[in-house]
Amino acid sequence: MTTFEGKPCVTDAERLRFHQDGYLVLRDVLDAERLARMNALAATKERFPADATEFRDFFVCRWGADFLSLVDHPRIVAYLDALVGPTFRLDHDYCIFMRSGTKGRKLHGGEPPFRDFWYKRDPDGTIRAGLTVVTFFLTAARPGDGGFALIPGSHRDNYLADLPAEARALRAPPESLIQPAFEAGDAVIFTEALIHGTMDWRSERSRRVLLYKYCAGHLAWLGDYYDADTFEGVTPLQRRIMRPPYVELIGGSNGCYRTPTLEDA
């Protein structure tokens, strides 16, 4: 069991499930009051291009305190510490808003050219995922609605190479593809090595999800780094998580050297 700030958070069963499936669903992460505030603000931020039904915007953590607080939400930090490693950093974040009838996007993840998608599990059971996503659901995605879809267990092999083009494009979805159901306020954490994509959005309600993507401290995916000094009310923990990528060694009390972790915040 992994602890974070002295509290047991990640169980052995959750570790095993993440290793087997490549993702974990977290229920009721955001309460109704916070959801109402965030959806109200999101409605003022969305700007759908002409003749488009999908809106994306980067750095939604700049939208206010509720969005900034997701960077180090108490329900997710222990999972990131356990699955990405103690030096995890926020690489980038963005939103995806979709209206009914929006077309989905192809399956991707784990492609050999993108080595930051790697996933490994050491003989002692330690998991180290590369680029890892926490998706927060501001609106529900119920069975048949579409949206986030995945192939469980596909992060442990170069599975994408075996899929025909029709399957990758979701014109003929593979039988192993599933669309997990979520209520507003739920979240999912998954490794980008997992084969995943977006199915056509069929629900009459809008789809609103926020994606916060993390990686180990020495890695980067996006080249536009955070500057914590530009955020109002940023906490020491958020500041540490929003560090630019680095390879840094500091002296330990026993004379050894180690990479600084969240415990040093």
What's the confidence (pLDDT) of residue 111?
Answer: 65
Q: Which amino acid is at 226?
A: Y
How far is C-alpha 11 from the geometric centre of its chain's CA atoms? 19
Angle, vertex CA 12, rays to CA 11 and CA 13, nearest 5: 90
Which class for 167: exposed (0-12), middle (13-18), buried (19 or more C-beta within 10 A)?
buried
Tally the residues of the chain: 265
Phi, psi of 190 (to 5 degrees): -150, 155
Reduced to 3 states, what is the DSSP secondary structure of residue 231? coil
Per run of 10 residues, the mean pLDDT along the chain (length 265 residues) is 60 95 97 98 92 94 97 96 94 97 91 66 89 97 98 87 90 95 98 95 97 94 92 94 80 52 56
What's the confidence (pLDDT) of residue 125?
Answer: 86
- Is 24:189 a contact under the CB 8 Å cutoff? yes
Q: What pTM does this model have?
A: 0.90
Closest alpha carbon to 96 in 130, 65, 137: 137
Interior/surface letters 172-195, b for 16+ CB within 10 angstroms, e for the rest: ebbeebebbebebbbbbbbbbbbb
β partners of residue 136: 187, 210
What's the confidence (pLDDT) of residue 247?
Answer: 78
What's the confidence (pLDDT) of residue 43?
Answer: 95
Q: How far is the C-alpha of 199 from the C-alpha of 210, rounded, in Å?
A: 17
What's the confidence (pLDDT) of residue 251?
Answer: 52
What's the confidence (pLDDT) of residue 152?
Answer: 96
